[in-house]
Amino acid sequence: MAIQSCPKCGAKNRVDERVVSRMRPVCGRCGAGLGADAGGVSDDAAAGGSSAGATGVGKPQVVTDDSFARDVLAASASQPVLLDCWAAWCGPCRIIAPVLDELAAESGGRYRVAKLNVDENKRTAAQFKIQSIPTLFIFKNGEVVERITGAQPKHVLAARLSAHL
């Protein structure tokens, strides 16, 4: 295991070098992508975060209270948005992070994947009455069409997303 510093928030993260080749590691605190090198350098898109095209193709988008309306509600008018409400201290949240990375990479522009840290974005977490994490929402046309509580396997999340395409 290597220790990598997050380029966005500076948190120290343990990264298994054997897994990096098939899964993209993310920071446990803020969700930003971690580079495969020991320095923890990630691309600008994962470190940037909140504007609609800033995450690049195939990466979860970091959403904040301030960007939620634009990056989730407005964006869901053109394509469904899977929003992961998570926290850095949550074990199940960290377990499903690579699954969400895979779903984002496989989206092909059909849907978006976004991440909202509930500890840092209390207004949005309260608005959607998040009491358990991970809680995932599927938004379509600015509305919640599905709420998923707890860590779910990739095929379950993919099937629920596919139902709203």
> Tens of pLDDT along 59-112?
899 999 999 999 999 999 999 999 999 999 999 999 999 999 999 999 888 999
CATH 3.40.30.10 fits 49-165, yes or no: yes
The pTM of this model reads: 0.67
User: How would residue 38 be classed by pLDDT, with cut points 50, 70 and 90?
Assistant: very low
- Residues that are catalytic: 90, 93
Q: Which long-range contacts (CB under 8 A, 24 or more apart) does 37-42 make?
A: 38/2, 38/4, 39/4, 39/5, 40/4, 40/5, 40/6, 40/7, 40/13, 41/7, 42/7, 42/8
The model's pLDDT over 120-136, given as tens digits with 9 standing for 90+, comes to 999 999 999 999 999 99
